[in-house]
Amino acid sequence: MAMTLLEKILSAHSKFDVVKPGEIVDIEIDSRVARDFGGANVVRNLKDYGLTVHDPEKTFFTFDCNPTGSDQKYAVNQHICRLFARENGIKVFDINAGIGTHILIDEGYVYPGSTALSTDSHANILGAIGAFGQGMGDMDIAAAWHNGKVWFKIPPSVKINFEGKIPANVSSKDIVLNLLKIFGANSLLGYSIELYGPSVNDMDLDDRITISSMATEMGAIIILFPPSKRIIDYCSKQSKTKFKPVFADNDAHYEKVFTIDVSAFGPMVSRPGAPHDTVNISEVAGTKIDSAFIGSCTNGRMRDMNTVATILKNRKIAPGVVLKIVPSTDEIWKQCLDEGLIEIFKKAGALVSNAGCAGCAAGQVGQNGPGEVTISSGNRNFPGKQGKGNVYLASPEVVAASAVAGCIATPDNIPEKPSLFAIPEKPVETKIRNLPLNTSHEKKSVIEGRVWLILKDNIDTDMIYHNRYLAITDIKEMGRYTFDNLKGYEDFSKKTRQGDIIIAGKNFGCGSSRQQAVDCFAALGIQAVIAESFGAIYERNAINTAFPIITCKALTEIDLKNGDKIKVNFKTGEIENLQNRKITMAEPFSDVQYEVYLKGGLLGN
């Protein structure tokens, strides 16, 4: 039977010759990675359950979230990981190395056709070389470290054909922002995307990395590039394993096929609050900025550094504007030094930090303050993701040009005199609440509870549990921070009662791979979350910790009001409004979900 690119990769790592969408199979994982913010929890899971490491040669720590060691809790977590690594013969890519997913590619730990997992929600960046990468939560990674494999539900595949010639002023970042404009944050939710066309085949590794890195922002499982000869040659040179590249069968079945004329693409910017809220740069040109950031797993490659250096050479950053530049790996940093780029950056007035994820991970340079306007080459601009200010997303060349202009600008339209500040912004103070917690929860197949209607789409993990609390490892402490970054629900943890049930819209839990965005509900005694759809990583995290989530697309049929009491049957999917006795049907627990639920989690007995 013919298979898509992802299906062929996953079947080769399973016991089945053929896999099909919807099937749940065990997948062998070639590279198993934990980052510094999730690594300590992976260690805790392994130690709590008395589990061993299956194959240390395939197991890694990457310290890319806070490579500066500037946060005491991160430093503690990193040292926990180092000690565990020493005890178990695990390689650590420490604070001097850079972003883990890039290191896996550049040092040959992944290659076309291979599989990898990380606590990084952008592990699907490995689709750039035709490999399967997936971000997962702490419990999934612990299971992979112990078993060498994890269960995975084969997703349906989508094929996107690029026609036409990409305009000269359109970067790879612009391409993915145009795709976000077309598809939004959830129309391809849960799909594996494959890209084809002459312009795709011509893309180099840096282009592909930029585009693949934002599959998560589209709600997709992964964006896969069939490996070109240039990619195969590069990976063959770097790889520690001999490999045979994998390609889709010519007669493979795709659930959807799109043809897009890329010649119509233009330079784009994502407006603050949502990566998919993209507009042509002309609509926001001239917007005053306070700061600019260049880096992240999306745009920290050597191509990006060279592009930025070309714009900054013999220019100065606008007065009062801060430009922060963070290469993605230490090798790229060294190349910038050897080729004189660091000198160009510093003469222009930029801050250059050591390699890592930077502002996206809340652990390094790149954060902004209340009222601050930032233009960033990162991949996310959810409220609070890169700080308390407003973040526009753009290509590195637009970010560099804007830093010089003092306002959003393109490289071909930098004003002779920069935009200057009139009145400084005033900071806004926030407070963190304290709350006694009760985490008791019985494993019942039928539950009843009061509903909270939070009928918003694309509620991301930063809204559920903000990244400034990621260093907290005690679940009992997590509840008090639930939704304190979701506008209108900042006081949720004060008002909720044990046994409540949350009703939400589409793509609930999109964004990061953080387990805390599930655990915080358990800490508050929330019984379940019911939504039209869930982010792929979030769904796994909830299932693996035995926290009930239900997908229901027909909740309007039972006329729910905030505070109504409902009855939910996990086995049948029946949901009843106990106020009016109206009934609707949701998707029942799968056999896997129910089994994991009954035993109290993936790592339970």
More confident residue, 301 or 64: 301
Question: What residues have CB less than 8 Å from 469, skipping those under 6 apart?
Answer: 478, 481, 516
Partner residues linked to 268 by β-bridges: 280
Q: Is the pLDDT of residue 437 over 70?
A: no
Q: How far apart are CA 33 and CA 518, in angstroms?
A: 21
Q: What is the pLDDT of residue 429?
A: 52
What are the distances in angstroms from CA 485 to CA 461, 467, 497, 506? Answer: 9, 10, 19, 18
Of the candidate ranges 84-88, 340-344, 354-358, 452-456, the one whose mean pLDDT is the lowest: 354-358
Q: What angle do CA 121, 124, 130 make, to 5 degrees?
A: 170
The fraction of the chain above a pLDDT of 70, given in percent, is: 95
- Tokens 């269960």 locate to 151
- Model confidence at 440: pLDDT above 50: no
Q: Tell me the sheet residues that pair with 322.
A: 291
Return the DSSP state at 217: G
Residue 364's pLDDT band (cuts 50, 70, 90): low
Residue 251 phi, psi (nearest 5): -105, 25
8 A C-beta contact, residue 492 and residue 466: no
Q: Is the pLDDT of residue 434 over 70?
A: no
3 state DSSP class of 575: strand
- Mean pLDDT, residues 255-259 taken together: 98
Mean pLDDT of the chain: 92
| pLDDT of 423 strictly over 70 | no
Mean pLDDT for the stretch of residues 98-118: 96
Residue 301 and residue 165: Cα distance in Å, rounded?
23
Give me the amino acid identity at 546.
A
Tokens linked to 190: 């849960």
Percent of the chain with pLDDT over 90: 83
For residue 294, which amino acid is it?
I
Tokens coding 443: 């494993």
Mean pLDDT, residues 503-518: 94
Confidence tier at 65 by pLDDT (50, 70, 90): confident
Q: For residue range 286-298, list pLDDT tens digits in order.
A: 999 999 999 999 9
Q: Provide CATH 3.20.19.10 ranges for the chain.
A: 446-598
Segment 300-320 shows an average pLDDT of 97
Give dist(CA 38, CA 138) in Å, integer.
Answer: 6
Burial track 372-406 (b if 16+ CB lie within 10 A, e otherwise): bbbbbbbbbbbbbbbbbbbbbbbbbbbbbbbbbbb
**Strands, E, within 415-520: which ranges?**
446-454, 501-504
Q: Is the pLDDT of residue 67 over 90?
A: no
Which residue would you say has higher pLDDT here, 197 or 428?
Answer: 197
| Lowest-confidence region among 151-165, 417-431, 439-453, 532-546 | 417-431
User: For position 363, what pLDDT does the model report?
Assistant: 56
Beta bridge partners of 292: 323, 375
Kindly report, residue by residue over 388-408, the tens digit of the pLDDT: 889 999 999 999 999 999 999
CA–CA distance, 226 with 4 (Å, rounded to integer) = 11
Q: Where are the alpha helices (DSSP H) in 184-259?
A: 198-201, 205-212, 229-238
Residue 294 tokens, joined: 């260049």
Q: Measured between alpha carbons, how far is 598 from 372 in angstroms, rounded to an integer?
A: 47
The set of residues, in sequence order, having a beta carbon less than 8 Å from that of 594 and lying 6+ positions away, is 445, 570, 571
Residue-wise pLDDT for 580-595, tens only, equals 999 999 999 999 999 9
* Beta-carbon count within 10 A of 344 CB: 20
Query: How is residue 573 written in tokens?
Result: 């999917």
Mean pLDDT of 81-106: 95
Rounded to whole angstroms, the Cα distance separating 326 from 358 reads 7
Superfamily classification of domain 446-598? Aconitase, domain 4 (3.20.19.10)
Q: Which letter, b or e, does each residue of 242-269 get, where b requires 16 or more Cβ atoms within 10 Å of its Cβ?
A: ebebbebeeebebeeeeebebeebebbb
pLDDT for res 426: 60
d(CA 153, CA 192): 12
Number of H helices, E strands in the chain: 18, 25
CB 511 within 8 A of CB 552: no
Q: Where in the chain is the domain with CATH 3.30.499.10?
A: 5-264, 268-413
Over residues 199-216, the pLDDT tens digits come to 999 999 999 999 999 999
Here the tokens at position 66 are: 């806070």
Q: Contact, 597 vs 539, CB < 8 A? A: no
- The SS3 call for residue 96 is coil
pLDDT at residue 170, rounded to an integer: 96
Cα separation, 201 vs 229, in Å, equals: 9
Give per-residue pLDDT as tens, 472-502: 888 889 999 999 999 999 999 999 999 999 9
pLDDT at 69: 64
CATH number of 5-264: 3.30.499.10
Contact 325, 357 (CB under 8 A): no
Instruction: Give the Cα separation of 54 and 65 in Å (integer).
Output: 25
- Residue 292: its H or E element: strand 291-294
Q: What is the mean pLDDT of residues 64-70?
A: 75
Q: How far apart are CA 24 and CA 5, in angstroms?
A: 17
The residues, ordered by sequence, that sit 6+ positions from 86 with a Cβ below 8 Å of its Cβ are: none
List the alpha helices (DSSP H) in 340-482: 341-348, 396-405, 461-464
CATH of 268-413 given 1.10.150.130, 3.20.20.140, 3.30.70.3340, 3.30.499.10: 3.30.499.10
Q: What is the band of 251 on the pLDDT scale with cuts at 50, 70, 90?
A: very high
Q: Rounded to whole angstroms, how far apart are CA atoms 471 and 70?
A: 12
**Separation of first and last alpha carbons in the chain:** 37
